[in-house]
């Protein structure tokens, strides 16, 4: 899958996608990331990408034309597949355009799984200021999504959250399907060594003992799964 970002802060995107699991997934060619700086597509000598809103009101609105120009230069994934006759044909990309908005549809893990299965390319339009000229949404047939009932200063963080959630649904990104917490009984209460932790570790103050629950130490997997299930309540 290829993720595209139209933003005025490209470093916000690359600083995250260039680390950890997403970086390894890109190195394994399971995903790829393309970041476009909207300012590069402005015709204004100062690379201006916003203007005052019609009808008045506070703040500025991101202009449509620089975003549309940036979108027109995107290169989408194509794939070559073998037909039943043994010939190969090029399959057109399946593109999803997303505009981040506090009033958009709620993004969930179910949506992330659906995106991972259905699309070859996802384009994120990362708005700023008071929003984006609505003609962008209409022309690009973008769907508006929100990650929660709160307002952020821009669309970059929601785009990265959605990227992370979608990418981990792609086979091979996490290394094992068992790593998907939603595919197994996962507990928010997790422990590792030592089985008894004394804290604080100070000569001036006597430490208190914090032990791992006994059920996790006895090797009875049925009881462990029951305990984990109960911790989800």
Indicate whether 139 pLDDT > 90: yes
Most distant CA pair in the chain, distance: 79
Looking at residue 40, what is its pLDDT?
Answer: 97
What is the rounded average pLDDT for all residues in the chain?
91
| Nearest in space to 60 (alpha carbons), one of 77, 71, 48 | 48
- Judged against a pLDDT cut of 80, whether residue 109 lies above it is answered with yes
Q: What is the pLDDT of residue 81?
A: 65
> What is the tens place of the pLDDT at every residue in 13-39?
999 999 999 999 999 999 999 999 999
* 164 burial level (CB within 10 Å; 0-12, 13-18, 19+): middle
Average pLDDT over residues 219-231: 90
Identify the weakest region by mean pLDDT among 33-42, 62-71, 198-207: 198-207
Per-residue pLDDT band at 88 (split at 50, 70, 90): confident
Query: Residue 173: its pLDDT value, please?
Result: 95
- What pLDDT, on a 0 to 100 scale, did the predictor assign at position 179? 54
> What pLDDT score does 182 carry?
57
Q: For tokens 């299965």, what's the residue?
A: 117
Dihedral sign, CA of 217, 223, 228, 232? negative
pLDDT band at 4 (very low <50, low <70, confident <90, very high): very high
Give me the pLDDT at residue 175, please: 74
pLDDT tops 60 at residue 178: no
H helices of the chain, in order, are 10-17, 20-27, 64-72, 109-118, 134-140, 156-167, 221-231
The answer for residues whose C-beta is within 8 angstroms of residue 96's C-beta and 6 or more apart is 115, 118, 119, 121, 122, 123, 143
Joined together, the tokens standing for residue 177 give 């399907």
Q: List CB contacts of 194: < 8 A, sequence separation 6 or more.
A: none
In this model, does residue 210 exceed pLDDT 90? yes
* Whole-number pLDDT of residue 177: 56
Q: Which residues of 78-87 are buried (b: 16+ CB within 10 A; e: fewer)?
A: eeeeeeeeee
Give CA–CA dist 220/130, Å, rounded: 56
């Amino acid at each position: 899958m290829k993720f595209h970002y139209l933003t005025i802060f490209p470093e916000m995107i690359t600083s995250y996608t260039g680390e950890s699991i997403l970086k390894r997934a890109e190195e394994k060619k399971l995903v790829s990331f393309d970041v476009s700086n909207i300012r590069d597509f402005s015709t204004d000598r100062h690379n201006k990408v916003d203007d005052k809103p019609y009808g008045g009101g506070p703040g500025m609105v991101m202009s449509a034309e620089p975003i549309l120009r940036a979108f027109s230069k995107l290169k989408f994934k194509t794939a070559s597949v073998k037909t039943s006759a043994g010939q190969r044909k090029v399959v057109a990309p399946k593109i999803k355009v997303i505009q981040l908005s506090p009033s958009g549809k709620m993004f969930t893990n179910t949506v992330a799984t659906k995106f991972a299965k259905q699309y070859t390319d996802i384009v994120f339009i990362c708005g700023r200021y008071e929003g984006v000229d609505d003609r962008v949404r209409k022309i690009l047939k973008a769907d508006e999504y929100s990650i929660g009932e709160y307002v952020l200063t821009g669309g970059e963080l929601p785009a990265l959250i959605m990227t992370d959630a979608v990418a981990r649904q792609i086979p091979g990104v996490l290394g094992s399907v068992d790593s998907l917490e939603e595919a197994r009984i996962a507990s928010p209460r997790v422990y590792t060594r030592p089985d008894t932790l004394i804290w604080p570790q100070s000569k001036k103050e006597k430490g208190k003992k914090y032990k791992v629950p006994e059920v996790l130490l006895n090797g009875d997997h049925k009881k462990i799964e029951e305990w984990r299930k109960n911790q989800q309540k």
